[in-house]
Structure 1
Amino acid sequence: MLKKKMVMGMMSTLLLAGTLVGCSSSNEKAGGQNPASEPKTIKLAHTGSETHQYHIASEIFKKELEAKSNNTLKVEIFPNAKLGSEKDAVEGVMNGTIDMSVLSADSSMANVVPEMNVFGIPFLFENEEHVYKVLDGEIGKGLLKKADEKGMKGLGFWEIGFRNMTTKEKAINTPQDMAGLKMRVQPAPVWQEFMKSLGANPTPVPFNELYSALEQGVVDGQENPIATIMSMKFYEVQKQVALTKHTYSPGAVIMSSKMYDSLSDEQKKWVEEAVLKAAQEQRKVLAEKEAQSIEELKKNGVNITEPDRSAFAEVTKDVSKAVADKVPAELIEQIKSAK
Structure 2
Amino acid sequence: MKKLFLVLLLTIFISACSNETADENSGEKVIKLAHTGSETHQYHVAAEKFKEVLEADESTDISVEIHSNGTLGSEGDVIEQVINGSIEMTTVAADSNLANTVPEMNLFGIPFLFEDKEHVYKALDGDPGKEMLEYVDQKGMKGLGYWEVGFRHLSNNTKEIVTPEDAENLSIRIQPASVWAMYFTAIGANPIPVDFNELYSALDQGVVDGQENPLPTVNSMKFYEVQQYISLTSHTYTPAVILMSDEFYSSLSKEEVTAVDKAIKEARDYQREELSNQEDEILTMLDEEGITITEPDRKAFEEATLSVRDEISDKVSKDIIQSFIEAK
> What TM-score range do you get, normalising by the shorter chain?
over 0.9
Alignment counterpart, residue 238 of structure 1, candidates 224, 227, 238: 227
Q: For residue 311 of structure 2, what is the amino acid of its counterpart?
A: A
Q: Give the gaps of 5 or more residues in structure 2.
A: none
Say if 1:74 and 1:307 are closer, same or farther in 2 by CA, change over 3 A. same
- The residue that corresponds to 1:141 in the other structure is 130
Q: Note if 1:163 corresponds to 2:152.
A: yes
- The residue that corresponds to 2:25 in the other structure is 36
Q: Give the gaps of 5 or more residues in structure 1.
A: 1-11
Aligned equivalents of 2:49, 2:141: Cα separation in 1: 22
Alignment of 1:88-103 (within 5 A): 88-103=77-92
Aligned equivalents of 1:35, 1:104: Cα separation in 2: 36
Alignment of 1:214-233 (within 5 A): 214-233=203-222
What is the deviation of 1:23? 6.1
Residues 13-46 of structure 1: CA distance to partner in whole angstroms, max 9, x if unpaired? Answer: x99x968974697489x79962321211000000
Alignment of 1:56-95 (within 5 A): 56-69=45-58, 72-95=61-84
The alignment of Structure 1 onto Structure 2 pairs a total of residues equal to 326
Q: CA RMSD in A?
A: 2.1
Q: For residue 260 of structure 1, what is the amino acid of its counterpart?
A: Y
Q: Is the 8 A contact 1:69 1:267 kept in 2?
A: no
- The SS at the match of 1:268 is helix
Q: Note if 1:268 corresponds to 2:241.
A: no
- The residue that corresponds to 1:130 in the other structure is 119
Q: Percent same amino acid among aligned pairs? A: 51
Alignment counterpart, residue 209 of structure 1, candidates 180, 193, 198: 198
- The residue that corresponds to 2:305 in the other structure is 316
- The residue that corresponds to 2:242 in the other structure is 253
- The SS at the match of 1:218 is coil
Alignment of 1:18-37 (within 5 A): 22=12, 26=16, 34-37=23-26
What is the deviation of 1:128? 0.2
TM-score by length of 1: 0.92
Q: Is the 8 A contact 2:169 2:189 kept in 1?
A: yes
Aligned equivalents of 1:89, 1:32: Cα separation in 2: 32
Q: For residue 154 of structure 1, what is the amino acid of its counterpart?
A: G
Aligned equivalents of 2:50, 2:234: Cα separation in 1: 27
Higher mean C-alpha displacement, 198-207 vs 94-103: 94-103
Say if 1:24 and 1:69 are closer, same or farther in 2 by CA, change over 3 A. farther
Q: For residue 158 of structure 2, what is the amino acid of its counterpart?
A: E
Q: For residue 45 of structure 2, what is the amino acid of its counterpart?
A: I
Aligned equivalents of 2:88, 2:58: Cα separation in 1: 17
Q: Is the 8 A contact 1:69 1:270 kept in 2?
A: no
Q: For residue 158 of structure 1, what is the amino acid of its counterpart?
A: W
Q: Note if 1:176 corresponds to 2:165.
A: yes
What is the deviation of 1:63? 0.7
- The residue that corresponds to 1:118 in the other structure is 107
Residues 45-75 of structure 1: CA distance to partner in whole angstroms, max 9, x if unpaired? Answer: 0000000000000000001111114661000
Aligned equivalents of 1:203, 1:234: Cα separation in 2: 17
Q: Is the 8 A contact 2:60 2:259 kept in 1?
A: no
What is the deviation of 1:104? 0.2
Say if 1:123 and 1:81 are closer, same or farther in 2 by CA, change over 3 A. same
Q: Is the 8 A contact 2:60 2:256 kept in 1?
A: no
Q: For residue 236 of structure 2, what is the amino acid of its counterpart?
A: T
- The residue that corresponds to 2:268 in the other structure is 279
- The SS at the match of 2:300 is helix
What is the deviation of 1:335? 1.3
